[in-house]
Amino acid sequence: MSGEIQVTSATQRTQDDDEAIGAVKEPPEPAPAKPARNAQGATLNVFSNAFLVLWVVMAAGPLVWVMINSLRESADITGSPFGWPTSISLENFTNAWSDANIGKYALNSLIILCGSLPGTMLLGSMAAYVIARFSFRGNRVIYLLFAGGMMFPIILAVVPLFFVMDNFALLDTRHGIILAYIAYSLPFTTFFMTAFFRTLPGSVAEAALIDGASHTRTFFQIMLPMAKPGLISIGIFNFLGQWNQYFLPLALNSTDPDKALLTQGLAELSVNQGYEGDWGALFAGLTIAMVPILLVYMVFQRQVQEGLTAGAVK
């Protein structure tokens, strides 16, 4: 858990810094050691800010460019890549939404996520709880089995996976994709939640059991609510991971275009636009896919950053 704690403290620290800087408006004072450091600090300041601003343009520029172009007509875009929309028309968006089926694909992605995300969280926490808090024969083996799954690239398993899914008649079905998402999210979810459940105090669970609650009840009514911070972190991690998944749908869900997910739909749109030259619809489709995620991120940016950094590097 140390990763998460570090992240929290650091974020607070930077916030403090910001406030402190905002409060102190006076010109830079000489540092205690040497007066020369002051000049050095000032040059460094300009230098560092220039680089930082440059990367803001680099990071956000392409996204802003896409959003602006989504409001322009395809002919204008072909004429000049840069430029402001001459008139605000939402035609591109309606084209993307209905003709290019972005609306349908987004709905497909949402349906999958409604099954896979709760499923991942529930099954992952169940396995993690048992592994973290009970000792039984094979505990260590099961833990290593899950943890080991984080190391291996999905691509290695994809060919046999395709045929396993085929044998169970799960190929190109919604529940099949949901199950695959859950299965491939389990290693990290279980690993993370095991560590989290180990940090929770055991006395509360014991009290519940003395009061006559069953193990199941203790888990759902006592331990799971106590694990909420961990669930939020791993939930964000899985939400973004599953919403953004491209590889599994491509391999397991590619025959029926009606069931395509948003990522597949965008890739498809990008190919088609090459033939039809409908740049406007492509940019509108991208905007539709980007903006909601970016808005959610900006609202919950602290939790998202913590969730992903605590999640991705352990």
Contacting other proteins within 206-265 (CB under 8 A): 206, 209-210, 212-217, 219, 240, 243-244, 246-247, 250-251, 262-264
- Asked if 199 is part of the footprint of other proteins (rule: CB under 8 A), the reply reads no
**Least distance in angstroms from the C-beta of 126 to other proteins:** 5
Q: How far apart are CA 133 and CA 208, in angstroms?
A: 15
Q: How far apart are CA 21 and CA 156, in angstroms?
A: 51
- Is the distance from CB of 250 to CB of 170 less than 8 angstroms? no
Beta-carbon contacts of residue 257 (< 8 Å; ≥ 6 apart):
268
Q: Which stretch binds other proteins (CB under 8 A): 91-99, 110-118, 224-232, 277-285?
A: 277-285
Residue among 287, 261, 281, 307 at smallest CA distance from 99: 281
- Asked if 39 is part of the footprint of other proteins (rule: CB under 8 A), the reply reads no
Q: What residues from 63 to 92 belong to the interface with other proteins (CB under 8 A)?
A: 63, 65-66, 77-78, 80-82
Residue among 184, 198, 177, 197 at smallest CA distance from 151: 184
Q: What residues from 89 to 108 belong to the interface with other proteins (CB under 8 A)?
A: none
Among 84, 87, 88, 135, binds other proteins (CB under 8 A): 135
Q: What residues from 109 to 128 belong to the interface with other proteins (CB under 8 A)?
A: 123-124, 126-127
Q: Which stretch binds other proteins (CB under 8 A): 57-65, 91-99, 110-118, 224-232?
A: 57-65
**Least distance in angstroms from the C-beta of 174 to other proteins:** 15
Tokens of 31: 């540092």
Tokens of 183: 């299965």
* CA triple 101-106-111, angle to 5 deg: 125
Between 117 and 165, whose beta carbon lies closer to other proteins? 165
Q: Which stretch binds other proteins (CB under 8 A): 87-95, 96-104, 200-208, 224-232?
A: 200-208
Q: Mutual orientation of helices 36-69 and 279-299 as an angle, nearest 10°? A: 130
> E-strand spans in the chain?
none
Q: What residues from 136 to 165 belong to the interface with other proteins (CB under 8 A)?
A: 136-137, 142, 145-146, 149, 151-153, 155-165
